Chain A
């Protein structure tokens, strides 16, 4: 008569977790230290991805707010250091190019602006006075922070609109008849303050007066120095090469044509390169963390030989011992991964709020972090777990 076949009972999943966690509970300090490596790696990677995603979204937001179809045409440097002026006809010529939607211009003047008439002449604060056309804000999509832009009427009077930084430099907080600045040796009324423009940051330090007022009172020669134009989105590529010759047919080489949104896009590009580098560093940290977990597990197996022997005597199969140590390694690295995810998200949130961005941590980064953690924990636990399972029960029980 042969007895019934022997089959080991499977362990309940909750028991697998509990037994896997047992080794961690009994050595909390080692758990923290060996999970730290993984945590740092994951935090670095989540932080890098999160910060660059937040920054990308911010650039995206600016690009969509200010558009990518703005082109600028500036007078370049002539022989010597004299700025070359653009011909008066340039504005009309550019406006006639097919695909161009709108055109405006400023002319740089030599005038200076001060808070009042007692300020020494050399303390200009770096503010540049421009003669500006009334349609400028519409073309560069600038909004007013206060007051109103120059009109056909105010453009003939001593009235000025200040850039955001220029206004705070001059201590101007409100607009109106009581708000005066000393500009070109006479008082100008501040009628408006511009909100910051991310595409043309130069204008933050600008003071804008009407074209007629500049000609009349500021010795302005009436030639535009920079022309701003919007082309239809699908015409930007065809309009851009034509601008130089159109603006200054006699000397196309003396004209600088640029697309301000390119600078923002280039910034994004640079960040992507940097991101690749930082991600690589994070991966190295993660790898080091994995080695740390493997090391902790090998030591743990050696220290717990008698526990292994006891479990074998209680009826644990080799597979159950292997599962126990693998579960322990996975829990350990998962712990590190969770900590790192929280840390990385927190870093992103702190950095983004410091920059005034919205915090964006892509879900794929979190999922990838958890996945990488599990893979690393599994790999790190594989060898120690196999080693624990191969241990003979008698040999294990002999250990002190």
Chain B
């Protein structure tokens, strides 16, 4: 993924100013900064949920600016998995079906999707929770369900927006371990957080301040 001079303005407010960033396949990096520093804007743009006002973004060889909304949807379905701070799990639906919906827009048959979902849930350590509904799961388990959904189709890129923000430290550590495992398996993981300690534990750290990339640290 390559960002060149990417800016985003909301009216007169500049949320992100000429960001340049290159992320190679298989990296694990943190985008860190205080709230209001443009982290979420950067995530939305990198995840193609939003388009930049200026600048270029290339993902996997595709120039995002030239893609239509339909093509971007297909790119998201195929290439990018998302994990959000609020989990976004459908109430009253069993974990297996929630995870299976991760491939709903990928054109695969339902039985196929459910088989993949079962594998993904086992992979995140929830093999015993297939039939449980979100309210029957702990926060950490819910986020692991969300991770399973995000990685169901083995997307090369995983975007995690404050994935541990709503979790206690033990559950958060478990989710983080999971992300590290995925990275170990070859997935590019971009983790967005305001937690400096958490970011400091990752091989690469991009620090944002006031909508600009202030510094980069590689370990």
Contacts and interface: CB of A to CB of B under 8 A. Distances in A.
Interface of A: 1-3, 5-12, 14-15, 18-19, 22, 25-26, 306-307, 309-320, 392-394, 397, 400
A11 B104 contact: yes
Contacts of A315: 73-78, 105-106
B109 A12 contact: yes
Contact of A397 (B49, B72, B105): B49
A392 B70 CA distance: 13
The 7 closest A-B pairs by CB, nearest first: A315-B77, A9-B107, A315-B105, A3-B61, A6-B74, A317-B73, A6-B71
Contact of B74 (A9, A15, A397): A9
A2 B61 CA distance: 7
Central interface residue in B60, B82, B92, by most chain A CB within 10 Å: B82
B88 interface: yes
Contacts of B75: 6, 315
6 contacts: A6-B78, A11-B107, A309-B49, A309-B88, A312-B76, A317-B70
Contact of A312 (B60, B62, B73, B101): B73
B181 interface: no
Contacts of A12: 109-110
A11 B92 CA distance: 23
Contacts of B82: 313-314
B86 A10 contact: no
A332 to B, nearest CB: 18
A2 B60 CA distance: 10
Given A312-B49, A315-B77, A8 B84 contact: no
Contact of A306 (B50, B69, B88, B107): B88
A393 B50 contact: yes
Contacts of B50: 392-394
B102 A314 contact: yes
Nearest to B113: A15
A3 B74 CA distance: 13
A320 B105 contact: yes
A36 to B, nearest CB: 23
Contacts of B67: 6
Contacts of A2: 61
B148 to A, nearest CB: 13
Interface in B80-95: 80, 82, 84, 86, 88, 90-93
Given A6-B75, A314-B76, A320-B73, 16 more contacts: A1-B61, A3-B62, A7-B70, A9-B108, A25-B92, A307-B88, A312-B49, A312-B73, A313-B76, A314-B101, A314-B105, A315-B75, A316-B105, A317-B69, A393-B50, A397-B88
A1 B73 CA distance: 22
Interface residues of B, number: 37
Nearest to A10: B107
Interface of B: 44, 47, 49-50, 60-62, 67, 69-78, 80, 82, 84, 86, 88, 90-93, 101-102, 104-110, 149
B78 A394 contact: no
Contacts of B90: 22, 26, 307
Contacts of A15: 104, 110
A314 B74 contact: no
Contacts of B60: 3
A266 B8 CA distance: 77
A24 to B, nearest CB: 12
A389 B42 CA distance: 23
Nearest to A25: B92
A19 B49 contact: no
Contacts of B61: 1-3
A10 B49 CA distance: 20
Given A15-B110, A317-B73, A393-B50, A9 B88 contact: no
A165 B105 CA distance: 74
Nearest to A396: B49
A390 to B, nearest CB: 11
B47 A313 contact: yes
A210 to B, nearest CB: 83
Nearest to B77: A315
Nearest to A321: B73
A314 B86 contact: no
Contact of B49 (A9, A313, A317): A313
B109 A394 contact: no
A172 B91 CA distance: 73
Contacts of B107: 9-11
A9 B105 CA distance: 6
A151 to B, nearest CB: 82
B95 to A, nearest CB: 15
A317 B76 CA distance: 10
Contacts of A8: 70-71, 73-74, 77, 105
Contacts of A6: 62, 67, 71-72, 74-75, 78
Contacts of A307: 88, 90
B11 to A, nearest CB: 14
